[in-house]
Structure 1
C-alpha cells in the first residue's frame, strides 16, 4: 500500500467529511456526524478548538491520491497527564486496505515523539466492534481490560494500551 498523509483538518475538508461520514456503520461506532455543511463545520470547529487548547489533535488521513480516507485523533483532556486516548475512523470506501493500523501507527509515533511526558496511550471500543479490536492489536495496542457499559455506549468496552517504549525517540522540534 502506498503511503498516507496525516494533516490537521481544514475548513475546506467539509465536503469530503460529509461524504466520508455518511455511513451507518460509522454512526454505530462513533459520535461523528456531518450530514450537511453546517454539521461538518461544527465538527471541524471542535477539532480546531481542541488543537488550540492542546486537548485534542485530530488529523485528516489522506491516501496517495489526496482523497480523505479517515481520521485519527489524540485526546488529551489534561495536557499535563501522562496518559491520553487515541481514536480513529475509516471511511467505508477505504476499509480493508490497512489504513487504520498505518494511520494509528503514525499517530502513536507522533504522540510519543511530540509529548515527552506522555507515557501511555489508550484505545477504547465497544466489545462487539471486532474490527477495532483487530486494528488495536495489529497497531501494538494489546487488550488490557473490559469496561462496564456507560452512556452513551450501551455495551461493555475494551481498553487496549500502548506504553511508551524505553528509548523511544522524541521528534526534532
Structure 2
C-alpha cells in the first residue's frame, strides 16, 4: 500500500493553483453538485445521484488507497487565501503495483473547470507522481482510455503527453462505444 499523497500544482496566468488530494467525506456535497452536469454524466462512469451514492463513491475511493487497487484524487481549484478550494474534478491511478509494468489513469472535470487547462495540468501531476512512486518498482507505461467520440479527452491526453495508440472495439454493456487508447511511457 502506498500512503495517500497530496500534490500541488502551481497557478498559471490562465488557471488557478490546484491541489490533488485523496477524497474525503466532506467532498460529498460538492460531488453531488458537479455530478448534476449532463456533460459529466455523458462521459464519466463516476457521476453520482444524491448524497448516499456520493458517500458510497467516496468510500470506494478511500478503500482504493487502502487496498492499493486505485488511488483517486479530488482535484481542488485553490484561490488566494484558500487552503482547499472548490472541487474542479478527479484524477485516478488504477492498478499500479510493484512489479506491474502497466497502469491506467483516468479523470473527469466539473463543468466550470473545463477549457481552462485544469484537466491536463492535474493529469500531468498524477502522471509524474505515478512514475516517481512506482517507476522504481517497474512501472513503465500508463494508459488512458476514452470513448472515440470524445474529442476533448483526446486533446487532454495529447496535451499531457499521452500519444494515441489504437482504437479499441466496443465491449457492451460496460463500454458500448469504440474507444481510444493513449499511452505515456516512463521518461517521455
**TM-score of the aligned structures, taking structure 2 as reference length:** 0.85
1:147 is aligned, of 147, 151, 168, to 168
Q: 1:95 to 1:83 in 2, by over 3 A?
A: same
Residues 82-140 of structure 1 show CA distances to partners (whole Å, capped at 9, x for unaligned) of 10000000001211110000000000000000112211000000100000001000000
Give the drift of 1:156.
0.7
Residue of structure 1 equivalent to 2:22: 8
Contact 2:34 2:110 in 1 (8 A): yes
RMSD of aligned alpha carbons: 1.3
Residues 29-76 of structure 1 show CA distances to partners (whole Å, capped at 9, x for unaligned) of 111132211000110111011110111000000111311000000001
Residue of structure 2 equivalent to 1:30: 44
Residue of structure 1 equivalent to 2:89: 70
Q: Which runs of 4+ in 1 moved over 4 A?
A: none
2:179 is aligned, of 157, 168, 173, to 157
Residue pairs, 1:6-155, within 5 angstroms: 6-65=20-79, 66-76=85-95, 80-115=99-134, 116=136, 117-151=138-172, 152-155=174-177
Give structure 1 stretches of 5+ with no counterpart. Answer: 167-173
- Alignment partner of 1:6: what SS? strand
Number of equivalences: 166
Q: 1:27 to 1:113 in 2, by over 3 A?
A: same
Give structure 2 stretches of 5+ with no counterpart. Answer: 1-14, 80-84
**TM-score of the aligned structures, taking structure 1 as reference length:** 0.92
